[in-house]
Amino acid sequence: MRRENDLVTSLDVIRWALMQTCDTLQSLKPLWASQGLQYYKKSRLWGSLIEGSTPAQDVVSCIQEPEAQTLSQLYHPSDVPRASSLNENIDPSDLVVRGMVLDGKVPTANHF
């Protein structure tokens, strides 16, 4: 246990830097998982467009995001669950999707 008057060593600095890095990475997991789900959704929509199984206008309306969002709404990692439109056009039985939702703790409307 460190005392108030103890000198700061290089080990203390390295330990602090590593702890800060780990905390930051942990806080960004939901953002990365959300981005992964968005990519997955758009890839599936693109595939359905190429196959011709979905009309182009339907694909465009599914891909479009609300325009009036603040940077905080778009990118701020949060532990507060929010409903998400990511449920549409994704396969909840896909192991990759389940991993992103459950491990990344990405909130969705019904969490599958």
For the stretch 11-56, pLDDT in tens is 999 999 999 999 999 999 888 888 888 888 888 888 899 999 889 9
Task: Say which residue, 85 or 63, is predicted with more confidence.
Answer: 63
Q: What is the mean pLDDT of residues 60-69?
A: 81
- Domain locations along the chain: 20-79
Determine which of 4-18, 50-64, 97-111 has the lowest per-residue pLDDT on average. 97-111
- Please choose, from the candidates 108, 86, 8, the residue with its C-alpha nearest in 3D space to the C-alpha of residue 40: 86
- The structure's pTM equals 0.53
Judged against a pLDDT cut of 60, whether residue 82 lies above it is answered with no
